[in-house]
Each structure stands twice: as structure tokens, then as C-alpha cells.
Amino acid sequence: MAPSDNPTRALPSLHEFFAPGGILARSPLPYEYRPGQLEMAKAVERALQERRHLIVEAGTGTGKTLAYLLPALRTGQRVIISTGTKALQDQLYFRDVPFLETLLGDLHVCYMKGRANYLCRHKLSALRDQPILTGLEEIDQYRQISEWEQETETGDRAEISGMPESSALWQKLDARTEACLGSTCPDYRRCFITEMRRKALESDIIIVNHHLFFADLSVRQEAAGAPDAGILPEAAAVIFDEAHELEEVASSYFGLSVSNIRFEELARDTDVLLRGKEGADKLPAVTAQLRERARMFFAGLPMAGDGRQPFTEREEFLENSGDLYTAVCTTLRRMEAEMEGLTGVDEAPGLKKRVARLRSELEFLLESNANNMVYWMERRVFGGGTAPTARGGARTASRTTFLQATPIDVSELLHEMVFEQIPTVVLTSATLTVQGGFEHMRKRLGLTEARELVVPSHFDYGKQALLYLPPNMPDPREPDFQEAAANVIRRVLEITRGRAFCLFTSYAQMRDLYERLAPVLDFPILLHGTAPRKALLEQFRETPNAVLFGTSSFWQGVDVQGEALSCVIIDKLPFAVPSDPVVQARMKAIEEAGGKPFFDYQVPSAVLTLKQGFGRLIRSLEDRGVLVLLDPRIRRQRYGQTFLASLPPYRMTATITDVEEFFADVAK
């Protein structure tokens, strides 16, 4: 496809770089030759040269980032590297690439995040002229942003250390696509997105994350080739690291989502950007009406509490409450008509397009019957109750309600839009196989033609890790499981002297065991949800003998090396909740196709999640520790063998004295 604009230059061969006595061996890094790393690098280079797809499971400790970075650089063409998390994206750009530059010289690499991470200068200018600020906290943040805008080169909000993640002001000022004026914007040449595009065109490697990649793909699909669509340039290849996350991320971007917040943001941006414009005098009344009608519509949805739930009764809702839906659509059409009449107003076409898109998506969510879609609702609470603000006021928790449509199966979409369109796609992760094979992952992702490679971990799991499966545990569905779990956790933590992650499959389970154990444990306990994840991890690393209680976001993308993390305890086999609307729809589709949903979908997905959770423990050659699974089904049920056969070769025991002896040996 598209080479970069940079002339190619001689780079070392893979053997010169990775082999014993080579460039990597002479670097300041602690070096040990890893045959698997060189094998993976050769497989990636061959795939890039021959324009073939490749799927690689590279065990923890392989050094997979260097194994794909150097082959990508050696192509002389533009390559996109997409990561599952911003943490890995940061590691690549701020650690791995600078390290390579010390060995190879300057490299043409850029780093791109989603548009919501960047400041829109046009919005800032509009807000400066007609401020709509709420409270002293927003006024203080506005002052910080205004001063920072004068000196920043990137416009990336991460540069403002004091900006809270939940800043309502930032949402009024970010550069998301739906509010973008494109090349008609008066600030287009000074735009941070324009500058990011320019840097990408000059780069050999573009480091993004899966959310940005699929958001960009979705925008391009909708725009059907419009020149300003998307921000990623064409590339000869895409390398997906942490590829086990692709199905879920792709599902969210190939689907649709409409929330009450989108209506509020549309009304707010219309008020700010069109206030005082010639011919726009009727719009404030229309936006006020939109706010009220949207509020009534979302309040009228048949939701039973918070969380995710199916929206199977759409026809019944339209029969009983169709007037609420009709009223919202009517107001959106009125907004379109008012904006149609605005001539010579730069902001009007973009806002009109945004109104039309919101109306179209709402109509799809309420009236369409696409076969491959599951329709569902979700209500989330942001803020967790009232909390003090920096100025001593109170911030009230807000509820956001979403109407969603998610593809039941994204394999065909991925096959057509990714694997058929991009000459080379490399998928890699430490967790892609089930019982040593890629069949589950290939089927879910629509990957029909690809080379395969499994690179075992560089670690000696038989010596470095012990898997403890406590005997006589009740089934997790039995009422006495929690008490038994608390007793085992307490006993194990006494042996390990804290220094543990306790990972749970639900918030309710986590809170219950936290309340049972907090009064009786003599170790500092950190609880998921009491602070941002990054802050909790930093506190865990710095606090001797700490124990962290966490749920899903701590199962992957977390790297704590050394004695600080010497134990990982997992409560249950991490099966997806069968009542979840998307899981329910996928299981039903597999059953209707003649498959067995539990064995074809739930078990393989849970295997990959369990491998991720256990993978938090051993992160270097020096790490030692104990893994604990409290769920007895791994031994008692037939499907348990699938889990055991998919895990690394840990030494296993059902005897607590083996755990004691393991730590006694480590202490010597």
C-alpha cells in the first residue's frame, strides 16, 4: 500500500541484532539470548516480505516488542502498530523506541491517541468568547488549559498533570470527530489533529491503540472515502499487539451507541458554536426543547436498575411510548432545518451532519431488525455518589443511559475490512491459544489464511511458579463458598506476607471478601474503585506487603516485577456472565448454527482470561510466586482439563505445606 515518505537506510539484519554477541547483546540491557525472540522476528519479517498474515502467541518474557519492531522498521514502508492498552502504547513509544534509537540512530516513529485526548483550538476560542462554565473548578481548569494551549506542541491532555480524568470541561473542548469542521475550520492549519496527521505521513512506524484503529476504520467506512475522514494514513502492514482484545473492541466500533450525554453535548455545542450567528436566533429554544425531550425519552425506557440488559421489547416500547421517541426525532429534524438555513456560518454544516447522524442512529436502534445485531441498554453511574471537589464543593454522581446495537459476530466484518484490505496483518499476544491451538481465535476474528507460530515463554515456570488448588472447596455457586474463600485467602496471605493481587470476577464478590478480610488482615489493602488504576498500582509498588483487591481491569495490562507481587489469587474461573445481552446473543447464534455455546465460546474465552490473570505474576526471570485458584471446578468438571492443558507448565499442588515450603525456599 503506502510507503512512508522517508528514504530507506541500512538497518542491521535480524541475526546481527538478536544473535549472541550481536547488537542487543552489547547493549546496556541485561542480555540473555532468546531463540524464541529471533524465531518470532524472522516469522514477522517473512510475513511482511511475502505480504502474508501471521498469528503468534509469544509467551511472557519472549521480548516480542523488539521481535516485531525491528522487522517493521526494516521494511522501509509505513507500518501501524496497534496495542490493546495505552500502557503498552506508552511503553513502546517512551521506552522501547528510545532504546532502539540508542542502538540504531534516529527513527521516524509517531504516537497517536484518539481525538478525545487532544484539544480543539476552535472550541477553546468559542468558549473564550462566550464562556459557559460551571463552578469555580471549571473556571480554574479553563485558566490552566488556556495557559497550556499557548505553549503545548501536541495538544495532548496527558501533559496537564492536574486535569482529572472525569473533567466535564475537557469534554467541551476536545477534538472528537463529530464536532470537527475539517478543512473549513478557521484553526485548521494550527489544529493539533492536522499536525498529528502530518507527523504520521512522515513516519515509518505509527503507534496507536485498538480503540483508535477501529474508531478510524469506522469513520472511514461511514465517510466512504471523504478526504478528511479518519486520521490514520495508509500503511503496508498492521501489527496488533494484545490481539486477544480485538473482538470486543471491534464489536464496539462496528455497532452503534446513543446516550443521553450525546444529546446534551449536541445541545451544548450548538449553543456555544452558533450563539450570536446571523440567522441562529431560534436555535436556543430548539436546543432547550431537545434537552427536555431527550430527558423524557431516556427516563421512559423500560430499564430495571443499573447495568446491562437486553432491549427485546422495542416494539412494545414504541407502541406504549412512541410519542417520546417521535418527539425527540421531530426536534432533531427541526434542528436540521434551522441549520440548513444558516448561510456563511462555518460551523453549521458540521453540526447539521452531526444532528442527522444522531437521528439516523436513534432510528436504527429503535426500528431496525438487522439479523447480526443484538439490541441492549445500559445504565452506568459515574462519580460514585457525591464527592468533594478541589474547591470544597460537591460533585454529584451522574447516570448515563446508553442504547446499544452490537454485532453478534464480527468475524465477517473483520475479514472484509481488515484481513482482505491490509496486505500483512500480524496478530500477537501472550494469550491466543486454547489447548495449544489458534482455532477459537481464528474463528472469532475471521482469520482464514494465516501462518501460525507459538513461541514458548522464556521463563522456567516449573521452578518460578507454584499453582495451588486448595482441596475441599465448595462450588462457587454454593452459599458457603465465600466463607471458605476468605479462610483460604487469609491463610495464603499470612504465608506470602501480603504482596498479592486478589482478582475477582465481579465487584460484588470483591466487596464481599474485602469486608470479610479487611478487619482480620494485618496488611495494607488497596481496593479497586477507591482511586484511579494507575495510582493504585503505584501505591501497591511503593507499599511493603500490600494486597490489592481488583476486578477485570487488573487481569491484564499490569506489570509489577519483583517481590512486591509474589502471589496472585483468583476467585473463580472467569466465565462471561450468561445473562449479559451480548454474550446471550452470541451463545444463541452458536446454538442455532449447530454448535455448543458453552464449549465453543464460553470455555475458550474463559481460558484466555484466566491465562491473562495468572500472567500478572511472573514478569521477569527473577520473579518467584504462587498462583491460587479457589474454584474447584477446574479439577472436578470435564472442561477443567481444557483450562489445565492451556496453562503454562506450572508445578501444581493441593497441599498448603507446599506453599509454605515454596516461600521458605525463596527466602533462602
Whether 1 shows a pLDDT value over 70: the answer reads: no
Among 187-191, 511-515, 575-579, 629-633, which is the least confidently predicted range? 187-191
Q: Are 503 and 649 in the same domain?
A: yes
Does 204 reside within a domain?
Answer: yes
Whether 25 shows a pLDDT value over 80: the answer reads: yes
Q: Are 212 and 91 in the same domain?
A: yes
State whether residue 153 is helix, strand or coil. coil
Domain enclosing residue 102, as ranges: 14-114+193-252+410-455
Measured CA to CA in angstroms, residue 329 lies from 127, 222, 255, 588 at distances of: 28, 21, 20, 33
Last residue of a domain, one of 397, 425, 455: 455
The tens digit of pLDDT for each residue in 377-423 reads 999 876 543 333 333 333 344 689 999 999 999 999 999 999 999 99
Q: Are 161 and 280 in the same domain?
A: no
105 contact partners, CB below 8 Å, separation of at least 6: none
Whether 9 shows a pLDDT value over 60: the answer reads: no
Identify the pLDDT of residue 388: 32
Q: Is the model more confident about 12 or about 399?
A: 12
Measured CA to CA in angstroms, residue 275 lies from 131, 279, 280, 339, 347 at distances of: 11, 10, 7, 12, 11
State whether residue 274 is helix, strand or coil. helix
State whether residue 292 is helix, strand or coil. helix
411 contact partners, CB below 8 Å, separation of at least 6: 443, 444, 445, 446
- Place 228 in a pLDDT band, splitting at 50, 70 and 90: low
Q: Is the model more confident about 372 or about 388?
A: 372
Does 4 reside within a domain?
Answer: no
Q: Which residues pair with 526 in a beta bridge?
A: 548
Identify the pLDDT of residue 547: 96
Q: Is the model more confident about 194 or about 481?
A: 481
Whether 69 shows a pLDDT value over 90: the answer reads: yes
Identify the pLDDT of residue 662: 94
Identify the pLDDT of residue 116: 85
Q: Are 523 and 612 in the same domain?
A: yes
Q: Are 198 and 292 in the same domain?
A: no
Q: CA 266, CA 357: separation in Å to the nearest integer?
A: 11
State the burial class of residue 106 (Cβ atoms within 10 Å of its Cβ: 0-12, 13-18, 19+). exposed
Measured CA to CA in angstroms, residue 162 lies from 113, 136, 388, 538 at distances of: 19, 15, 16, 17
Among 98-112, 172-186, 512-526, 630-644, which is the least confidently predicted range? 172-186
Under 8 Å between Cβ of 366 and 322: no
323 contact partners, CB below 8 Å, separation of at least 6: none
Identify the pLDDT of residue 386: 34
Whether 2 shows a pLDDT value over 80: the answer reads: no
Identify the pLDDT of residue 194: 87
Under 8 Å between Cβ of 215 and 386: no
- Separation of CA 551 from chain center: 15
Find the mean pLDDT for residues 557-567.
Answer: 88
- Place 667 in a pLDDT band, splitting at 50, 70 and 90: low
The tens digit of pLDDT for each residue in 119-145 reads 999 888 888 766 666 677 788 888 889
Strand-strand pairing, 424-429 and 237-241: parallel
Mean of the per-residue pLDDT values for the chain? 89
Find the mean pLDDT for residues 558-575.
Answer: 92
Under 8 Å between Cβ of 255 and 407: yes
Identify the pLDDT of residue 545: 95
Q: CA 658, CA 468: separation in Å to the nearest integer?
A: 8
Identify the pLDDT of residue 130: 64
Find the mean pLDDT for residues 334-363.
Answer: 91
Q: Are 127 and 207 in the same domain?
A: no
Q: Are 418 and 395 in the same domain?
A: no
Which segments within 436-570 are labelled E, that is strand?
451-455, 465-468, 500-503, 525-527, 547-550, 567-570
Share in percent of the chain as helix, strand, coil (round to 5) = 50, 15, 35
- Place 349 in a pLDDT band, splitting at 50, 70 and 90: confident
500 contact partners, CB below 8 Å, separation of at least 6: 492, 493, 547, 548, 565, 566, 567, 568, 569
Q: Single out the residue of 379, 309, 178, 262 nearest to residue 584, CA to CA.
A: 309
Q: Are 200 and 272 in the same domain?
A: no
- Place 553 in a pLDDT band, splitting at 50, 70 and 90: confident
Q: CA 183, CA 160: separation in Å to the nearest integer?
A: 27
State whether residue 541 is helix, strand or coil. helix
Q: Burial code of 366-388, b = ≥16 C-beta within 10 A, e = fewer? A: beeeeeebbbbbbbeeeeeeeee
Q: CA 325, CA 254: separation in Å to the nearest integer?
A: 24
- Place 179 in a pLDDT band, splitting at 50, 70 and 90: low
Return the percentage of the chain with pLDDT > 90, whole number.
69
For residue 231, what is the DSSP state? S
Does 359 reside within a domain?
Answer: yes
Whether 203 shows a pLDDT value over 80: the answer reads: yes
Count of the separate structural domains present in the chain: 4
Does 549 reside within a domain?
Answer: yes
Does 652 reside within a domain?
Answer: yes
Q: How many CB atoms lie within 10 A of CB 465?
A: 24
Whether 42 shows a pLDDT value over 90: the answer reads: yes
Q: CA 515, CA 486: separation in Å to the nearest integer?
A: 10
Strand-strand pairing, 307-310 and 373-382: antiparallel
- Give the pTM: 0.89
HSE value, Cβ hemisphere, 13 Å, CA-based, for 109: 23
Q: CA 337, CA 203: separation in Å to the nearest integer?
A: 43
Identify the pLDDT of residue 637: 96
Q: Are 577 and 642 in the same domain?
A: yes
Under 8 Å between Cβ of 230 and 216: yes
CATH code, 294: 1.20.120
CA angle in degrees (0–180, nearest 5) for 20-21-27: 105
Among 3-12, 25-34, 241-250, 600-609, which is the least confidently predicted range? 3-12
Q: Single out the residue of 320, 316, 403 nearest to residue 364, CA to CA.
A: 403
Q: Are 239 and 148 in the same domain?
A: no
Assigned C-alpha cell, 494: 499470612
Q: Are 363 and 420 in the same domain?
A: no
- Place 604 in a pLDDT band, splitting at 50, 70 and 90: very high
Assigned C-alpha cell, 558: 499490569
CATH code, 633: 3.40.50.300
Does 185 reside within a domain?
Answer: no
The tens digit of pLDDT for each residue in 237-260 reads 999 999 999 999 999 999 999 999
Assigned C-alpha cell, 426: 500480524
Does 661 reside within a domain?
Answer: yes
Q: Are 423 and 383 in the same domain?
A: no
Identify the pLDDT of residue 186: 82
Q: Which residues pair with 550 in a beta bridge?
A: 503
Does 145 reside within a domain?
Answer: yes
Identify the pLDDT of residue 224: 64
Q: CA 544, CA 39: separation in Å to the nearest integer?
A: 39
Q: How many CB atoms lie within 10 A of CB 173?
A: 22
